[in-house]
Amino acid sequence: MKMRLRANFILATAVNLWMVHTVASLSNIGISHGRHANSRFLLDNGVSRTPPMGWNSWNHFWCGINESVVMSTADALVSTGLASLGYKYVNLDDCWAESERDENGKLRGKASTFPSGIKALADYVHARGLKLGIYADAGNRTCSNQMPGSLHHEYEDAKTFAQWGVDYIKYDNCYHDGTRNRERYTAMGHALQKIKRPIHFSLCEWGQEDPAKWAGAYGHSWRTTGDINDTFASVTWIADLNNRWGRYAGPGRWNDPDMLEVGSGGMTMDEYRSHFSIWSLMKAPLLIGCDLRSVSNRTLRILGNKEVIEVNQDSLGVQGRKLRSKDGLGVWAGQLSDNRVVVVLWNRSELRALITAVWRDFGLSPNTPAIVRDFWKHKYVSMNERDRLTASVAPHACKMYVLTPLQS
């Protein structure tokens, strides 16, 4: 990848000393590692050291899913090349099960829509190098009220999911008994620990009890907000809500601002690029919500932007955050591995505008030169930029850059 050419420009003997200063500076302004000291006593199982990537059925299909849709979507992930970029999870949302448990009290796939069973579906997905996700609920019924919840059946259901070969569980929060969310989600966390299968546990309690403060001890990702919808207003609202929890995220524990709407049809391409850029910068799970069997090439160019994906999957695992915003013109940034900084200039206003990020926003000296690469144009903007970066940004669009500072 072309970004690796940056090594040719870095003075190796000076960078190590300069890095210590820069990391300290970045921490001082809030682009920090966010290593919150909550103990990982349950599901520290090596899963999701980077944010999970894949597809979820709900945004497009709602309850209209069946095994043919899921299988053809798995095939589409492979044929479009998205799977090779890291989109590995094929996640069933609500409505996959029969309305009642069987005579032994077990969940079972809905015979009319999943006649081959969930185990066979998992085998199909696994055979393509992908992983299967499933949906459950920390209440008596799921949110559709069409299938049983897992409240008081946590171990039984966790064991069933493991036997089927499930790799991901989205655990929703409807029709419960009024007990605290944390208690009900802890119960499933303990159950998943007992079955000892490496399953990603996604807590979907909508941010009601500030899960960023505690959910990292029980699972791998947690919803920080209510449901997203396919509008720019929803994207901006959810981004701001998720932004406040950045310091709690890190490898194996991620803030989840809900699924991607890219390709669903309700926004412009500029708005979808902004959506994808900010979700990637925030280290959000990248779970596609559109119908991949008929996805457009323009949508694939967004979802398949390898350089933007690499920001999301960066090994340092630091959630980028909003540094400042005025009149809808924002500067978002985050620390990356190899001492780089990702910067998004986001225009949420209705008019084209100039947006400027200054080096001091990132804790850099104004005299520090930096290589600047545009991750949407896939080209270098400058090999020796200093002090500030200014761009003209269209309404609802963004510019996404990665800065590699050099020793002056």
As a whole number of angstroms, the longest Cα–Cα distance in the chain is 72
Q: Which of 172, 230, 258, 361 is catalytic?
A: 172
The closest alpha carbon to 92, from 141, 142, 127, belongs to 142
In the set 227, 270, 338, 387, the catalytic residue is 227
- Cα three-residue angle 93-96-97, rounded to 5 degrees: 135
Q: Which long-range contacts (CB under 8 A, 24 or more apart) does 115-118 make?
A: 115/67, 116/67, 118/164, 118/166
Judge whether 75 counts as a catalytic residue: no
Closest alpha carbon to 311 in 338, 283, 339, 344: 283
Token representation of residue 11: 């003075």
Phi-psi category of residue 135: left, alpha or beta, with phi > 0 → left and psi -120 to 50 → alpha: beta
172 is annotated as an active-site residue: yes
Q: What angle do CA 309, 231, 348 make, to 5 degrees?
A: 75
User: What single-letter amino acid sits at 294?
Assistant: S
Query: Phi and psi of 401, rounded to 5°?
Result: -125, 155
Q: Which residues are catalytic?
A: 172, 227
